[in-house]
Amino acid sequence: MTEIGLNHILFVSIALFFIGVYGFLTRRNMIMMLMSIELILNSVNLNFIAFNKYLWANKMDGLFFTIFIIAIAAAEAAVAIAIIINLYRSHRSIDVEDASDLKF
């Protein structure tokens, strides 16, 4: 077995990213969409960590960025869930297809 290299991690990251995108585009449940977004964010985090480790191992930029993204993602999740709750209260549904009042 060879050592796990940068490419391996990037493959995982890409797979994670597209799974997230696929989920975001196909799931009608807003909670599921929110979770898909988390997947996308985490694939990005994975990229940052991998590049930091393999290319600039003596620097900390990627790590800090990742921590930053995790913090933002927590805030984003809080806001998104608040929106979803409000939507549920007004529409009695969290199906994204029902939330189309603002079209033309």
Q: Does 24 bind another protein (CB under 8 A)?
A: yes
Three-class DSSP category at 95: strand
Interface with another protein: number of residues (CB under 8 A): 13
Among 26, 63, 78, 85, binds another protein (CB under 8 A): 26
Which of 2, 74, 92, 97 is the binder for another protein (CB under 8 A)?
97
Considering the rule CB under 8 A, would residue 79 count as an interface residue with another protein?
no
| Helix, strand, coil percentages for the chain (3-state, nearest 5) | 75, 0, 20
Contact segment (CB under 8 A) with another protein among 7-15, 47-55, 58-66, 96-104 equals: 96-104
Token pair 């709750």 in the structure block, residue = 85
CB closer to another protein out of 2 and 100: 100
Residues 6+ apart with CB under 8 A from 86: none
**90 touches another protein (CB under 8 A):** no
Tokens of 97: 């297809």
Is 31 within 8 Å of 84 (Cβ atoms)?
yes
Q: Which residues bind another protein (CB under 8 A)?
A: 21, 24-26, 33, 96-97, 99-104
